[in-house]
Structure 1
Amino acid sequence: MTLTHPAYEQLRQVTPSAAVVLADNPSGMTLQGTNTWLLRAPGSSEYVLVDPGPKDRKHTEALVRETGGNIALTIVTHHHADHTGGISRLVKETGTPVRAVDPQFLHGTDQVLTDGEVIEAAGLRITVLATPGHTEDSISLLIDGPDGERALLTGDTVLGTGTTVLESRDDALADYLTSLKRLAEAAPGRHLLPAHGPDHADAEPVITYYIKHREERLQQVRDALEKLGPKAKALQIVAVVYADVDKRLWPAAHSSVKAQLAYIRSHG
């Protein structure tokens, strides 16, 4: 039987070089849960693992089982606990080196990930793209495999369904729009591998939607400012723009609106 998303703690093959194990940590923020990606070219004896997932013994055990502990490298897309909580146990069980933008997550190396860096491992060519916005340390990965196989792994920068939350820092939206532009340029012909939600065979229309959505949200915030006055607070705008959204998600929306307000007030 062919597995479909969501398939908790089971290996689901997505492309010839990419498989996923979904952590059983669903929530309003994680959607169905956190996707841990296992990357290797057909015939390779080792894996590159992306995002160990939450601190959850069952999830780590599934990763060790499915890789046989043969992990050449673990990559972290950003610092949030639902992606990094499982690092310590994974390192203990497999000895995998871990690389990230944030040095606090490094294991077995002192080299942080850098924009444009190319990693050759598990029979694959993996290019690191800095894609801040969701967090300042967010990265995406261009994955090029044998026989022309191409994928785009986006962490939380682009999800498999819905849209992502931005940091509330002043430059977050400007950074994020730049990140989406970079991803749009890289997307044609690539399979989308997100950290939450289902994968997509074609990344391009998903990223095009993301750009359109951000433009629409910006206009909605501008309209709310016209209605509420230029000194309106972020939470007042959330109540207008996100009136149809579950209020339990308003704290996340509040972060994004703060980023949007900072962008509008500095860019117009």
Structure 2
Amino acid sequence: MDGGNLIDGTGRADRADRAKDTDGTGGIDGIGDTRRALGAFLRARRGRVTPEQVGLPGGRRRRVRGLRREELAQLAGISVDYYVRLEQGRATQPSPEVLGALAGALGLDAAERRHLDTLTAGRYGPAPRTRVSPLLRRVLDSVAPLPAFVTNHRTDVVAWNEPGAELIGGLGGPGRSERNQARYLFLDPVSSRAVFPDWEDRAVEAVGQLRVATGRCPEDRELASLLAELSAHSSEFRRIWATGEVVMCTAGRKRLRHPRAGLLTLDYETLHIPAAPGETGLVLHVFGAGEDGRAGAAGS
């Protein structure tokens, strides 16, 4: 396996050809419209809750996946008509009490509830720009020999240190123009599955982060184009997107296959860098060996 292809994804079809799409959305509901995005998110989460989970009778003859609209409305203590208007994007400013009741009925976690709040906040304006400050670049250099890199809300890798370039695969090489993690995962599946043994976890993580970004930056055309491209050319992306996953970068442990060191198990921490006015917040990812002091290398 050529480590230089991990992000660049050479050998794939031309991106311009992949991005062709008749309606500009790739079939994803709610891009650029937080009202539609709210309805899509509620439908997806409603489909993941079974009647039995909330103490309602199930049965084999149900024609919907998950809860019916009237069931969720009943659990949340709101009228069916009002809930239908929420899903259809016709009710645009639900109260905090209504949002809290829906979040409780759907069993949303903290990240999902925050996303729900974001979708109803009415955020509009130009897409934020990405800027890596000189201080952040010095921070990257200072944490070496720990691998580290920085991503923006679109999962673009925008800065890295030398060990980080080796970890992800040739990021600093000449001619590298494609450094988007989501494109790599979904549009270069052969290479990405070889690098990430837990590919499904990494894919869900990427989709969940992109969903959060759509709520925060509804008018970001580059983000909309990325989502349309992924939806048009990856059934796996469409499958995961339909679940309504929401993921916030935190900390944990990941397995990946390094081109020279073989299979590694590394702890990681993500540090969120607040956004300046007109800019997007960035995420610093730092990797290291486990608490036992070993990187957990295994045979490749």
TM-score surpassing 0.5?
no
For CA contacts below 8 A with separation 6 or more, give which structure has more relative contact order: 2
Q: Normalized against structure 2, the TM-score is what?
A: 0.26
Higher helix share: 2
Q: Is the strand fraction higher in 1 or 2? A: 1
